């Protein structure tokens, strides 16, 4: 697999170094190098770009602002790897769903580690978009994949989580905690409970509170206004009681 790559940095030496790293990496193809984000944005809209190596501190439009613009775009949305000398932007980079964050000065080994993440993500995306087999059929294959696992952004990598391993998901302000059968500590991911609710199969998971999604087959007991999973009691919120009652009516 070959990834189309653009490098953006207003420092000529830094831009030259990243471009050289890209050109010596067999699975990367340099399709553009720019000293400002505005020119890069035009190039991204004009061609297919898979990965963007992007500086943050730049005039006119900085890297974080460009990432936000791309995040609102429905097409031509490359994955971003930030290249910056400022570590205070790490959390902001995570918020715009950056694939990685390279802190200057970095060497080729560090660059290649980030590039391999981009390759793994591209291969995963290509596999998920591949046509289903004739015997399975598109709808069946899609449902089977969806029913088996999901991928969550954890720090700067995608982590595969088996759906049957999930006990419940707890929503915080900017994060979610995914509690698993196989681990004592939860997985922390910068995403929203609403986003996960849309991805999870409704026949297996249900939102029962503004802060909780539960795995229906992991429920141990139910009272009038709450349910229990293991040793954890979860209150059923008022706005979710009707849907939960409908679920119960099928079994009671």
73 and 10 in a common domain: yes
Residues 109 and 16 in one domain: yes
DSSP 76: S
Does any domain span residue 134? Answer: no
- Residues 126, 1: Cα–Cα separation, whole Å: 9
Same domain (yes/no): 60, 171 = no
Distance, CA of 161 to CA of 151 (rounded, Å): 6
Q: Is 155 inside a domain boundary?
A: no
Domain-terminating residue out of 113, 128, 143: 128
Q: Which residues contact 126 (CB under 8 A, 6 or more apart)?
A: 1
Residue 208's domain is classified under what CATH number?
2.40.50.1020
Domain boundary among 108, 128, 148: 128
The total number of structural domains in the chain stands at 2
Is 199 part of any domain? yes
Task: Give a yes or no: residue 170 inside a domain.
Answer: yes
Whole-prediction pTM: 0.55
pLDDT value for 202: 84
User: Among 94, 23, 93, 20, which residue's Cα sits nearest to residue 55?
Assistant: 93
Give a yes or no: residue 136 inside a domain: no
For 198, other C-beta atoms within 10 Å of its C-beta total: 9
Rounded to whole angstroms, the Cα distance separating 165 from 169 reads 11
What backbone torsions phi and psi does residue 60 show, to the nearest 5 degrees? 65, -75
Report how far residue 131's alpha carbon sits from residue 169's, in angstroms, rounded to the nearest whole number. Answer: 31
In 3D space, the residue among 203, 207, 145 whose CA is nearest the CA of residue 171 turns out to be 207
Same domain, 80 and 197: no
Q: Are residues 171 and 224 located together in one domain of the fold?
A: yes
Q: 41 in a domain, yes or no?
A: yes
Sign of CA dihedral 143, 194, 152, 120: positive
**Going along the chain, which residue ranges are E strands?**
3-8, 28-34, 51-54, 79-84, 100-103, 149-154, 157-162, 166-171, 176-180, 187-189, 205-209, 212-215, 221-222, 226-229, 232-235
Domain holding 230, by residue range, is 163-249
| pLDDT, one tens digit for every residue, the chain (252 residues) | 899 999 999 999 999 999 999 999 999 999 999 999 999 999 998 899 999 999 988 888 888 888 888 877 656 678 889 988 866 655 555 566 778 888 888 999 999 999 998 888 888 777 665 544 333 334 333 333 345 788 787 776 678 888 999 999 999 877 899 999 998 899 998 888 888 888 888 888 999 999 999 999 899 988 878 899 998 999 999 999 888 888 777 665
Bridge partners of residue 103, in order along the sequence: 84
Residue 118 domain flag: yes
Q: Report the chain's C-alpha Rg in angstroms.
A: 22
Helices (H) and strands (E) in the chain, counts: 8, 15
Shared-domain flag, residues 91 and 21 = yes
Q: Which of 103, 128, 153 corresponds to the end of one domain?
A: 128
Which CATH number belongs to the domain containing residue 36 in this structure? 3.40.50.2300
């Amino acid at each position: 697999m070959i990834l189309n790559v653009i490098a953006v940095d207003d420092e000529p030496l830094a831009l030259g170094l990243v471009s050289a790293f890209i050109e010596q990496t067999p699975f990367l193809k340099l399709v553009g190098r720019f000293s400002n984000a505005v020119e890069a944005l035009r190039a991204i809209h004009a061609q297919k770009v898979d990965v963007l190596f992007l500086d943050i501190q730049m005039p006119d439009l900085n890297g974080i602002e460009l990432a936000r613009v791309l995040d609102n775009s429905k097409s031509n949305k490359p994955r971003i790897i930030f290249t910056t000398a400022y570590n205070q932007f790490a959390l902001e980079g995570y918020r715009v769903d950056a694939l990685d964050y390279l802190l200057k000065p970095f060497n080729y080994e560090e660059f290649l580690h980030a590039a391999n993440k981009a390759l793994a993500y591209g291969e995963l995306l290509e596999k998920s978009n591949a046509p289903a087999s004739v015997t399975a059929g598109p709808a069946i294959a899609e449902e089977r994949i969806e029913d088996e696992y999901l991928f969550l952004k954890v720090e700067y990598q995608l982590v595969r989580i088996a759906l049957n391993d999930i006990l419940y998901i707890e929503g915080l302000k900017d994060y979610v905690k995914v509690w698993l059968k196989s681990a004592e500590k939860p997985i922390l991911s910068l995403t929203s409970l609403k986003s996960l609710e849309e991805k999870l199969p409704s026949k297996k998971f249900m939102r029962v509170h503004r802060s909780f999604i539960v795995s229906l087959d992991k429920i141990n007991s139910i009272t009038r206004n709450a349910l229990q999973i293991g040793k954890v009691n979860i209150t059923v919120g008022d706005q979710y009681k009707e849907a939960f009652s409908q679920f119960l009516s099928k079994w009671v």
